[in-house]
């Protein structure tokens, strides 16, 4: 198979150099006059995009998935590497990946973004999701790049070059790292030898990670180890290594607290307990990056969520009596879309028992939650009594959440923990502090888990 062929780093570099002159001509013309876009053919536009994709995969040693998932936000939030104003780092957050651009390379990407990409988007004929519209790499049609490996092959075919994949590049770098295991005499002589032309900050960092992997509790590599790989890029390597470890630790913090947003003081306290002395995440910065997990099962996998449900100690909520209409549940802090707000806590009974309770008291519709169990049985959670037997000193929030179809900001989801039903309310949009929370009781339609209430609303 082609991907199993052994190639040198020099061969990989040649693929990019062959296309560079043609691409730079287009970039230079766009910088001089953006109206040059009208004179470019679709083939020339595709060539430019393929070249930038190839840089990311072959020169910056990134997987094709990084090209697909890089967003406009990732590009706009690029950061200057401290101590070297001519280099910037781009982080692709969804892939937890990063690469470094020289000043010249940054200009290439910026010209594409400022002039060519915006023109491509104007040609889009079909509706696309906000996620698709946010993608950085686009085709001439205005649709997101979906097969970077195939685009790389188009670049090879254009210049009649051997097909080189990103896996082959990584293999060549892996071969190069073995050459670093030299004798003492060879190390001394290698310090005097010029660095290979293909060496850049990304390759140097990749080599450093191979010999000194970035882990949660590892110590940064010594200067001697960095210099052995690259004298020119040793400071870049240290900066990237430390930043990667810091991001790895930030991810651990975010994963620890799961689908329920913690307080900044709680995050700060947790970080202090880890005993990290350097590359320590900042609690305030971690809070800015916090987002609810996308996994449907994430809430029930979270120990914090299960503990709050068991103890009925949901925070960020308060009961308020508004205009004599009874108690309402109001937030005391903001909640992000997808975040767990609270649960519907009650006594598990059959559907028939629930209907009987409702018939005897028409005002209890919002205090009964009907659903279908795993084995298809129609069941009900009964919260019509002010105090439940398991929490006699507490008033649970779920029973006081009011109905709304137009202004609902919660979505109920049915989970099972050890075969016990757990109904969690998730924020269906961002919710501000001081806002009342509501959900659609679903009495006039089939609900997410059963028949709906079939009851008169309270």
pLDDT tens for the 458 residues of the chain, in order:
333 444 555 666 666 676 777 777 777 777 777 777 778 888 888 888 988 998 899 888 899 999 999 999 999 999 887 665 568 889 998 888 889 998 888 988 998 998 889 888 888 776 777 777 889 999 988 889 999 999 988 888 887 777 777 777 777 776 765 655 544 444 444 445 567 777 888 888 888 888 889 999 999 999 988 888 888 888 888 988 998 899 889 888 887 777 788 888 989 999 999 999 999 999 998 888 787 776 666 677 777 788 888 899 998 999 988 766 778 999 999 998 888 999 999 899 988 888 888 777 755 556 888 888 777 788 888 888 888 888 888 878 998 898 888 889 998 888 888 778 889 999 989 999 999 999 988 755 444 334 443 333 23
Residues 63 and 111 reside in one and the same domain: yes
Left if phi > 0, otherwise alpha if psi is -120 to 50, otherwise beta: which for 418?
Answer: left
Helices and strands, counts by H and E, the chain: 18, 13
Do 213 and 80 lie in one domain? The reply is no
**H/E element, 87:** strand 87-92
Judge whether 335 and 427 are in contact, CB under 8 Å. Answer: yes
- The answer to whether residues 214 and 127 belong to one domain is no
Structural domain range at position 188: 179-289
Tokens of 97: 């990946």
Q: Is residue 456 part of a domain?
A: no
Three-state DSSP class for residue 369 = strand
Q: Quick one: the chain helix, strand, coil %, rounded to 5?
A: 45, 15, 40
- Beta bridge pairs of residue 106: none
Distance CA 342, CA 396 (A): 9
Domain co-membership, 323 together with 432: yes
One domain for residues 277 and 320: no
Token pair listed for 373: 């169990």
Domain assignment present for residue 166? The answer is yes
Q: Is residue 351 part of a domain?
A: yes
Q: Is residue 318 part of a domain?
A: yes
Q: Is residue 120 part of a domain?
A: yes
Structural domain contains residue 406: yes
* CATH number of the domain bearing residue 58: 1.10.443
Task: Give CA–CA dist 142/130, Å, rounded.
Answer: 13
User: What do you get for the CA distance between the two ends of the chain, in Å?
Assistant: 68
Q: Strand 420-427 vs strand 438-439: parallel, antiparallel, or unpaired?
A: unpaired
> Number of folded domains in the chain?
3
Judged by phi (left if over 0) then psi (alpha if -120 to 50, else beta), residue 92 lies in beta
Q: Judge if 203 and 119 occupy the same domain.
A: no
Sign of CA dihedral 200, 247, 282, 90: positive
Q: Is 10 exposed, middle or buried (0-12, 13-18, 19+ CB in 10 A)?
A: exposed
DSSP designation for 197: T
Q: How many angstroms separate the CA atoms of 349 and 429, rounded? A: 31
Q: Please provide the size of the chain in residues.
A: 458
> Domain boundary at 242, 265, 289, which?
289
Same-domain status, 53 and 77 = yes
Q: CA–CA distance from 214 to each of 176, 209, 220, 227, 237 (Å)? A: 19, 6, 8, 18, 12
> Residue 331 has which token pair?
């937030």
pTM listed for this prediction: 0.63
Residue 446 lies in a domain: no
Distance CA 280, CA 282 (A): 6
The whole-number pLDDT of residue 179 equals 59
Question: Do 94 and 146 fall into the same domain?
Answer: yes
SS3 341: strand
Cβ-count burial of 53 within 10 angstroms (0-12 exposed, 13-18 middle, 19+ buried)? buried
User: Does residue 188 sit in the same domain as residue 250?
Assistant: yes
Question: What single-letter DSSP state applies at residue 115?
Answer: I
CA distances (Å), 345 to each of 312, 379, 381, 389, in order? 8, 14, 7, 11
pLDDT for residue 9: 56
pLDDT, residue 3, reads 38
End position of a domain, from candidates 266, 289, 312: 289
Task: Examine the domain organization and report whether 36 and 60 are in the same domain.
Answer: yes
Are residues 84 and 211 both part of a single domain? no
Same domain, yes or no: 240 and 150: no
- C-alpha 458/C-alpha 363 separation (Å) is 6
Q: Give the end of a domain, one of 289, 313, 335.
A: 289
Q: Is residue 453 part of a domain?
A: no
């Amino acid at each position: 198979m082609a991907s199993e062929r052994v190639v040198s780093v020099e061969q990989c570099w040649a693929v990019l150099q062959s296309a560079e002159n043609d691409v730079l001509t287009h970039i230079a013309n766009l910088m001089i006059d953006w109206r040059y876009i009208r004179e470019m053919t679709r083939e020339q536009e595709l060539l430019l995009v393929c070249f930038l994709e190839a840089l990311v995969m072959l020169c910056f040693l990134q997987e094709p998935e990084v090209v697909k998932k890089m967003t406009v936000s990732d590009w706009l939030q690029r950061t200057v590497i401290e101590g070297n104003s001519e280099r910037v780092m781009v982080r692709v957050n969804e892939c937890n990946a990063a690469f470094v651009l020289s000043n010249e390379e940054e200009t290439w990407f910026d010209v594409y973004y400022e002039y060519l990409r915006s023109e491509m988007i104007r040609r889009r004929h079909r509706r696309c999701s906000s996620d698709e519209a946010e993608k950085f790499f686009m085709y001439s049609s205005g649709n997101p790049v979906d097969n970077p490996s195939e685009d790389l092959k188009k670049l090879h075919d254009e210049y009649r070059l051997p097909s080189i994949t990103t896996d082959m590049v990584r293999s060549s770098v892996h071969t190069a790292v073995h050459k670093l295991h030299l004798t003492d005499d060879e190390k001394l002589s290698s310090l005097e030898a010029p660095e290979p032309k293909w060496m850049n900050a990304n390759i140097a960092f990749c080599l450093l990670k191979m010999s000194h992997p970035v882990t949660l509790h590892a110590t940064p590599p010594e200067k001697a180890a960095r210099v052995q790989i690259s004298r020119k890029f040793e400071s870049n390597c240290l900066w990237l290594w430390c930043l990667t470890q810091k991001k790895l630790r930030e991810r651990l913090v975010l994963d620890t607290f799961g689908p329920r947003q913690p307080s900044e003081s709680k995050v700060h306290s947790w970080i202090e307990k880890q005993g990290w002395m350097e590359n320590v995440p900042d609690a305030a910065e971690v809070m800015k990056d916090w987002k609810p997990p996308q996994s449907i099962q994430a809430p029930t996998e979270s120990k914090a969520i299960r503990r709050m449900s068991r103890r009925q100690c949901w925070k960020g909520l308060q009961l308020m009596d508004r205009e004599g209409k009874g108690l309402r549940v109001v937030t005391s802090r903001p909640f992000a879309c997808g975040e767990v707000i609270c649960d519907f806590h009650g006594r598990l009974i059959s559907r028939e028992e629930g209907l009987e309770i409702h018939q005897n008291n028409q005002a209890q519709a919002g205090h009964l939650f009907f659903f279908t169990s795993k084995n298809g049985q129609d069941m009900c959670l009964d919260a019509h009594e002010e105090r439940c037997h398991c929490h006699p000193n507490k008033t649970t929030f779920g029973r006081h959440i009011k109905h709304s179809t137009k202004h609902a900001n919660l979505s109920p989801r049915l989970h099972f923990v050890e075969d016990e039903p757990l109904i969690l309310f998730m924020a269906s949009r961002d919710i501000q502090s001081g806002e009342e929370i509501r959900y659609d009781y679903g009495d006039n339609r089939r609900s997410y888990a059963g028949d709906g209430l079939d009851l008169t609303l309270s």
